Amino acid sequence: MDIDMPFSKAPVDHTNGKRRRTSTHSEESQLLSTLEALSDVPRWQTVSEKAFNGIVSIRFYVPASFDGDSPLCSEATGFIVDAKRGIILTNRHVVGPGPFVGEAIMHDHEEISARAVYRDPIHDFGFLQFDPSQVKYMKIEEIRLAPENARVGIDIRVIGNDAGEKLSILNGSISRVDRNAPGYGQITYNDFNTFYLQAASSLSGGSSGSPVIDINGDAVALQAGGRCEEATNFFLPLDRVKRALELIQNGKPVPRGTIQAEFIYETFDEIRRTGLPEDIEAMVRNVYPEGIGMLLATTVLPEGPSSTAGIETGDVLLRINGEIVTHFVLFEKCIDDNVGGSLSIQVVRNNKVIDLTVAVQDMHALTPSQYVVYGSSVVHNFAYQMAYSCNLPVRGVFVADPTELLQGIRKAAGVMLEKIDGKSVSNINDFVCVMQTIPDHSQISIEYFTIDNVHQKKAVTMYVEHQWQKMRVYTRNDVTGYWDCKRITEFAKALSPTPVKVRFPIMDNDNAGKAAKVSHSIVKVHNMMPVSVEGYTRSPRDGYGVIVDANKGLVVVDQYTVPTSICELTIIIASSCTIPAKLKFLHPTHNFAIIQYDPALIGESDLCEIEFSPTPLKPGDPTHMITQSSYGDLLCINTVITSTVPIRIGRSPYPRWRGINDEVMILDSPKANDYYFGVLADDEGRAQALWTTYNAIEDKKAVRAAMSIQAIKPALELLRRDEEPRLRSLNIEVSVISIAKAISAGLSPKRVEELQQIKSSRNVMLRINSVESLSKASGVLEDLDIIVSINGKPVRTIADLDVQYSHDMLDIVVLRQKKELTLQVETTECDRNTNKMVFWAGAALQAPYKAVLQQSRKVPSGVCFASIAKGSPANMYGLQSAFWITHVSGKATPDLDTFERVVGECPDNTYISVKGMSFEMVPVVLNVKMCYHYWPTTSLSRDPSSKSGWQSKIVCDPDGASNMLD
């Protein structure tokens, strides 16, 4: 673990810059030391070679957020300390306090599964275990622990998996043995109440858990961390490690006690300033003549034993049970030997000796051994480790991953729950019980605070949808190495909805005029995004929409808010009424979707649908933009249309839907860009255009522009007649080029004359940028074709392409290679629906969707990745989004059904060979090891007969757990 630490002070030069003469005796001593060091070279070589067979590379992943750590895949080092039992010593930040899945790779590259058997509650060490009988081709060596050999000045070798290399050997010398534990930052793991060793040795990622070996081949310390900017590393001493190992070898528990206080080692000159009497200092120095300091209390946790007993920050520890204690080894021995009992402690405070009796708690009991997964959120009891970092009481419920619970709060960190739906939650049992009482489809309030700002309470509204937000409880099992899973299936049923009376606030803006009535049509839209699909991650999306048919309950919203067909929607009317909605239509190229709510759920109200303006907007026209602020205030921005331009949004490296083949309007007012959604209305209050947000390569760089209201009419009219919109499309992407460029490409003078006779604001034509793979136009139309006419009508603007929506066949004249070609092109029925997904090894897979087909010249398979979860097998073994799978275990997988059947035959904890193609069409072969316990194989299929519209199925899930679908 690399850390950033402040620079230490430079050493003082007492020679005033003058060179001092070295005596002949010193030169002889230096020569003898050099010769002795040279003679040790063969010995070091022998020691290192013997250690190789006892050092392993650890490849692992963490499947769930826990205690401040996020899901991840990584590698580290460990070394065998018991060859008979297969026990490996490594760091706690490798084993982790939460679930761990890993394997040990021996020196001869034999790969053996390893499970976590112990992790210390606070110190940076833990043990893994493997089956020694599985190592077939080499003799296992164990490395003896010798903490007593760690001394200042000894030469050491750190042998491990440094910087991702299988084996690296770095040398150094121990410079300190009494350094306080390094700090790694807030809301993360930090060690305390122990000394650390320090050495000048440059190490990096992957070296965590390496043995620090002396010339006898014994481990004197454990590599733990270092400074990123300096060649300085920190090693954990092995006193408590050796004790823990001996207890585990004897089949006994490892007692770990705490008084909930942190101490650091301070030198006598610092301790003296806190009020240490001179006679006490003299007594301590006499008992420990080599000591240079004492232990000083720096953190006393509220409500803990030390706080209750009266220990205060700044107290100097003097005695425990009558024995003078100035070092951490004796300090911890006293506490660990008295778990459940009490200690008589003497501290020095302001020149006075104070006697106290302090209870000793079981530290393991303060470290969570359970966690709850709710949807994609993870909660567990607040851990001692985290409480220490933030100086908070060890109680309450900590949200390790807040995505699902704190809907709309994307960057909340260090969240502590206080109340859910008005009920207090003090532990995860309370959390489970409260969540079970909440009816389906209900809206609740969650009260919380963040540990970096304990003074401010916050609240967020959550919409409960048990179809997607399944709950499971995981309990640590050190016998199997897994966290056993229990599904929670009993929840309160949905309540019968009752109509709600709705009144919109009054728009306080005289400049709006009659356009103010549009404000009674604008609603807020919340999309829960229940799964990661089509390049979008599972996270809430909020936006606005406008009611276009009050009788049918039809609302138009942009595709920034509703980008995919798998969605869970609610609308909030007049900031007072929340009701469910469902998706009815996604346009293939224009930036809008149409959703529907049940009008029967609305009681007496003053909401209204918008009235369409018969006159399209053009540059120079004035308009009124009606919108809402983030606080719900109704606003009017009087502005002017400055220009009409083709929308241009770059392609994402992870394909997802983007608006194409559309002309949008730019507004004169820069204030408009502060708002995600709005309605442009004329003086009579009739809607002319919608101000919408377009998905860009990154959400934070979203594009905002106005789209003509006329674009929604074809689909809207069909829905009003209770018909499903079935638009057709050429499935091409076009760009605008000047007529001059078309002439250079071979456009004839006759065509130029025809085009110039058409009244238009621009002398432009349309050129095909790409033709969608698998479309009926593919192989007929080609990239860089210039469209001359469609069905005999010259094409000058993007609006001229609208004829495609209602025709099965089109006669298209294109200019290609300086020749005009007349082509008959069949259109394809538009279908943005995702009908099936398979969740396998932490990857979400689906059939090639529109954004992929738009960006791909070839489609090598009917199975492609939509997303990869962090801390999953797919993540660990190198699979990536926008990756095609063509074969599994040598069997072709041309579609999702075949893929589901083939992977369903694969045993758990075995490697599966995956053959595929990268998005750049580079062949790839990877081997992925299954772990159905945390990452089962499941599928999700569209099912109109189901209440939610979806049906889930477990394909491979021996333990009943699921991280992806649920």
Catalytic residues, which ones? 93, 124, 207
Contact 789, 812 (CB under 8 A): yes
Tokens of 303: 């409500």
Tokens of 107: 């020196």
Contact 413, 187 (CB under 8 A): yes
Per DSSP, the three-state class of 751 is helix
- In a 13 Å sphere around the CA of 196, the CA atoms on its Cβ side amount to 23
Long-range contact list for 339-347, CB < 8 A, 24+ apart? 339/255, 339/256, 339/257, 339/363, 343/259, 344/319, 344/320, 345/309, 345/311, 345/317, 345/319, 345/320, 346/317, 346/318, 346/319, 346/320, 347/297, 347/311, 347/315, 347/316, 347/317, 347/318
Q: Which residues lie below 8 Å from residue 504, measured CB to CB, with a gap of 6+?
A: 519, 520, 574, 606, 607, 634
Strands 577-586 and 377-381, by their bridges, are unpaired
Burial annotation 238-249 (CB, 10 A radius, 16+ → b, else e)? bbbbbbbbeebe
Q: How far apart are CA 497 and CA 492, in angstroms?
A: 15
Backbone angles phi, psi at 825, to 5 degrees: -120, 125
Tokens of 308: 């209750």
Instruction: Using alpha carbons, select from 98, 9, 276, 69 the residue that is nearest to residue 189.
Output: 69
**Residue matched to tokens 């001092």:** 20
Contact 936, 962 (CB under 8 A): yes
Q: How far apart are CA 220 and CA 79, in angstroms?
A: 13
- The DSSP secondary structure of 386-455, one letter per residue, reads HHHHHT--S-SEEEEE-TTTSTT-TT--SEEEEEETTEE--SHHHHHHHHHHSPTT-EEEEEEEETTEEE
Backbone angles phi, psi at 885, to 5 degrees: -105, 125
- The DSSP secondary structure of 894-929, one letter per residue, reads -SHHHHHHHHTTSPTTSEEEEEEE-TTS-EEEEEEE
Contact 955, 941 (CB under 8 A): no
Tokens of 182: 């390094």
Contact 243, 297 (CB under 8 A): no
Q: Which residues lie below 8 Å from residue 351, measured CB to CB, with a gap of 6+?
A: 275, 276, 277
- Residue 956, beta-bridge partner list: 937
- AA letter at 96: G
